[in-house]
Structure 1
């Protein structure tokens, strides 16, 4: 864990103009600096860097933050990686708390191992790229697919020649264990004369898979002619995991901002062909279903995602898995849509037949998440019968419950109620277990009406346990990592702004590490639900802020409140 005090000192020493200026051309504008925003396409500069406040802001797309946030947003680095990068630039040593010398040594060795593997893979990528230029058959194949030399160079495409030991001429030792660990060479048999080594990729077009930092972490290889498998991926390695990585994300980063959405497709060739045709905002999963980690990674770059699938049964199954990955992240300000192509087309063939405008129009007709949820829930259900509608409700419930609290969740409930031919209140009772009468009583109270037979005076002026937990974690974000999974679920399920804040904090800590309140405050600014959080911190005496050691007591109070709320209806209390 990086101490918050070090983060504050790092930001105080950093010159944000210098940090941003390494990546963006800036010109002096009064006391500030301005340039073309790197996060969305524009012709007139609306991106400003304010040295006095060590802050950047774009009046065009709204991105803003400090030097660390710029590095995480622009380069795709994690919070810890951005801190280490900035500290190295300033000649500062990042302190490490709560880790023994042995743990630090292991972490250092693992990082050096990963760096070595990416260097090995980069050398292979350069070899494959050179072989592509020298092989007329491979070049002809790519030209036949409509790809230019420029687009092939942009994605670093290459060719792995025929032959079992083509990489033997690339590395000093073909028996180097790193070649096996990186997935480039396959070893069979026991050690000795019986052991065989050969290249994994042979006679294939090679697609380097890059991390969001641009490092080569693996490969995908496609056969030129007939053969199986059509696509062959690198195996899981210390630097490559198919369930976490997306092909083309490094190349698509700026296009995601310019286009305003990400198009998730199923193949490497689709990504490259779409980029050739003007849709550089496409990425592809690596032969696996779309995962929650894929969605989280994409949401660092855009709030709008379109999943593209074939219109057959396999495509529908893949769409169902993508929906489940997206549901927990479908807040009111995000958009998830689902595109099903005609069975005779993939994205590449569709855009070539119908043109850019035709494909753009087809994307605009993609189903919204709410419709996809309803369509999935009604599979196998005859909504013309009571039994079919009951089954529809049963299938919709687990999907609906995954949505975060907010207006979208209520809107979806209303649409599902109409399809089920149920009053909205009755459907909510089936979904949540809260009786309609209790919901009406709560609604009257929310509107200011006097609750029936009140047992205690209202506590409007008193901070509740959720308030105190939010206050404690805002000032000590590292406390989130000390809580259990059950605690995380309890906090994330809190209604209103509390749940929004806790879910947001979970994403921030997972993606950027524990950050000081000064950094979190900048990130919160502008979020539509964040005003109560800022008021909670700003309007109260800092001396009264709960400490980290108070968290167990606060969580215990919150748990008791939850249990009390669950059993009260059973006891007939209002």
Structure 2
């Protein structure tokens, strides 16, 4: 039994406003806080009062009244020991005297829930071989039977109470404690997962801590969520909500890198092709990967690569995830973002020719957090105006203040502020130039322009450029390539491979969906993405890189500042004025 002295001390040291305010919006008026009462319908906004000094809450309409412990018991449905234990952990207070007994009780409860989930998992696994539609769906995504077995996939039948065959007379209470069933009208229970492919959530112990049921019929039924997750509070920890953790945690610890995706199917597909450090966060907020999932990942990995769909929704999800991960980022942790081409998912990408190579390249070319942040700010706000730059600066400062104090925080502050005003970065090596070129094409929202006096087949093939161009064109981006007519005529006359028509590079670019224009007497080399990035320098973007005794220093300056829109407009006007037809010598 927990002593009254301990309870009294607990109530004095805990902020009742913080606890209740985490669940209910409260507004301060004078010494008290007010909000809508959660304990009766048609609540009035000012009817619910929370007093920090008196350590209680009270509703003047329904009469609900109590301490912070009573609130947790009534609102969160906790038992008395659970509420006391939760508060002591939340506010880092000494545990109650009967902590050992409480933990033993929790361990017994967790063991019972684990046994129920294990029994359900085995049942669902036995149903999968006879579920023809589910198997056809998995095959269409390129998932093999061996992979399904490795991750213990199953199938939840269409029946309302299929799990009754597993639990018998304990179907209601026992299955409910494991989050496997839902109590409906007239206190009748029914299975939570029905006609779904089932993905077990397992920690490093490989014990099942939860199940995710994914709908697979296409087109999706209106109003039916794509994924549902069982809810067993006795087993809920951040790591227990991650799919693939048991299979990937060792590879993540070994490599120091975690690749985080949204869909369980992506984990399966990537695992088949040797990507062993991939995990998924299913059933979370569709707009983001929440903070609570970051903690266990960062304990294993010093580098996280978040992979999102290249859609508007994907970019929004990446932005919200960036905001959530910032409080964990310092110089010891690296965060990057990889955006898939619009209209294609991981499973589809891996099944096409060179798809595995493209996925590897996308992971390697993932954009650092600082670049992703800067790009989003420049895209979201009109950087050609003082008002737009001011709004971008405010948005950044709101995020920046959430970061822990560190050298990385100070350097990020310096870089973003410098670039929002007028910043310049230098790119030196061939690999850095190639990575910048891929970034520009892959992240462009409206258009990307490449001014390259020389265009060769080897220059295009070096980074598999046409694949990236096709992906950008497919999502509505215009890609324009400008090249000097005189250089190409000279190549046709004297070079062994001829001009860009002879070596096939012109046909490749057109087939990928790019526009190719010839200009007269333009020897400059530059790169433009929308109105947010301009790179000017000595590197010839679409020709073969020089190596050995022919290698040379080539540097490009990358501008991401407020003057990019005006400079870009002027450069494009000059190019258009110099467009000429291509004629043989």
What TM-score range do you get, normalising by the shorter chain?
0.5 to 0.7
Q: Name the residue aligned to 2:67.
A: none
Shift of 1:230: 2.5
255 and 385 in structure 1: CA distance in 2 versus 1, 3 angstrom threshold: same
Whole-Å Cα distance in 2 between the matches of residues 292 and 99 of structure 1? 26
Q: Name the residue aligned to 2:302.
A: 303
Between 1:365-374 and 1:402-411, the stretch displaced more is: 402-411
Q: Name the residue aligned to 1:223.
A: 215
128 and 377 in structure 1: CA distance in 2 versus 1, 3 angstrom threshold: same
Q: How does 1:90-169 map to 2 (within 5 A)?
A: 99-100=95-96, 102-169=98-165
Shift of 1:236: 5.4
Shift of 1:403: 3.2
Q: Contact 2:307 / 2:340 at 8 angstroms: preserved in 1?
A: yes
Q: Contact 1:212 / 1:249 at 8 angstroms: preserved in 2?
A: yes
Whole-Å Cα distance in 2 between the matches of residues 406 and 224 of structure 1? 45
- Given the alignment of the two structures, is residue 256 of structure 1 paired with residue 252 of structure 2, yes or no? yes
Q: Contact 2:306 / 2:337 at 8 angstroms: preserved in 1?
A: yes
Q: Decide which structure has greater helix share.
A: 1
Whole-Å Cα distance in 2 between the matches of residues 344 and 184 of structure 1? 34
Q: Name the residue aligned to 1:173.
A: 169
Q: Name the residue aligned to 2:195.
A: 203
Q: How many residue pairs end up in the alignment?
A: 324
3-state SS in 2 of match to 1:207: strand
Whole-Å Cα distance in 2 between the matches of residues 296 and 99 of structure 1? 23
Whole-Å Cα distance in 2 between the matches of residues 381 and 99 of structure 1? 49
Task: Encode CA deviations 1:141-187: one digit per residue, 9 max, x unaligned.
Answer: 32332222221111010111221221111123244412112121222
Q: Contact 1:156 / 1:207 at 8 angstroms: preserved in 2?
A: yes
Task: Encode CA deviations 1:231-254: one digit per residue, 9 max, x unaligned.
Answer: 222235322367972111111112
Q: Rg: which structure is higher?
A: 2
325 and 236 in structure 1: CA distance in 2 versus 1, 3 angstrom threshold: farther
Whole-Å Cα distance in 1 between the matches of residues 143 and 195 of structure 2? 19
Shift of 1:345: 1.2
Shift of 1:103: 3.6
Whole-Å Cα distance in 1 between the matches of residues 372 and 193 of structure 2? 39
Q: Contact 1:328 / 1:404 at 8 angstroms: preserved in 2?
A: yes
Q: Contact 1:263 / 1:305 at 8 angstroms: preserved in 2?
A: yes
3-state SS in 1 of match to 2:371: helix
Whole-Å Cα distance in 2 between the matches of residues 122 and 259 of structure 1? 30
Whole-Å Cα distance in 2 between the matches of residues 304 and 101 of structure 1? 41
Q: Contact 1:236 / 1:242 at 8 angstroms: preserved in 2?
A: no
Q: Contact 1:159 / 1:204 at 8 angstroms: preserved in 2?
A: yes
Q: Contact 2:206 / 2:246 at 8 angstroms: preserved in 1?
A: yes
- Given the alignment of the two structures, is residue 213 of structure 1 paired with residue 212 of structure 2, yes or no? no
Normalised to the residue count of structure 1, the TM-score between the two structures is: 0.53
Shift of 1:129: 0.8
Whole-Å Cα distance in 1 between the matches of residues 254 and 347 of structure 2? 21
Q: How does 1:37-436 map to 2 (within 5 A)?
A: 99-100=95-96, 102-190=98-186, 195-226=187-218, 227=221, 228-235=224-231, 237-240=233-236, 245-288=241-284, 289-353=288-352, 354-421=354-421
389 and 142 in structure 1: CA distance in 2 versus 1, 3 angstrom threshold: closer
Whole-Å Cα distance in 1 between the matches of residues 200 and 128 of structure 2? 13
Shift of 1:308: 0.9
117 and 402 in structure 1: CA distance in 2 versus 1, 3 angstrom threshold: same
Q: How does 1:533-548 map to 2 (within 5 A)?
A: none
140 and 329 in structure 1: CA distance in 2 versus 1, 3 angstrom threshold: same
Q: Contact 1:244 / 1:294 at 8 angstroms: preserved in 2?
A: no
3-state SS in 2 of match to 1:151: helix
254 and 302 in structure 1: CA distance in 2 versus 1, 3 angstrom threshold: same
3-state SS in 1 of match to 2:339: strand
Shift of 1:370: 0.6
Task: Encode CA deviations 1:35-94: one digit per residue, 9 max, x unaligned.
Answer: xxxxxxxxxxxxxxxxxxxxxxxxxxxxxxxxxxxxxxxxxxxxxxxxxxxxxxxxxxxx
Q: Contact 2:147 / 2:268 at 8 angstroms: preserved in 1?
A: yes
Q: Name the residue aligned to 2:515.
A: none
Between 1:236-245 and 1:256-265, the stretch displaced more is: 236-245
Shift of 1:323: 0.9
Structure 1 residues not aligned, in runs of 5+: 1-96, 425-574
Q: Decide which structure has greater strand share.
A: 2
Shift of 1:112: 0.8
Q: Aligned Cα RMSD in Å?
A: 2.5
- The structure with higher relative contact order (CA 8 Å, sep 6+) is 1
3-state SS in 2 of match to 1:208: strand
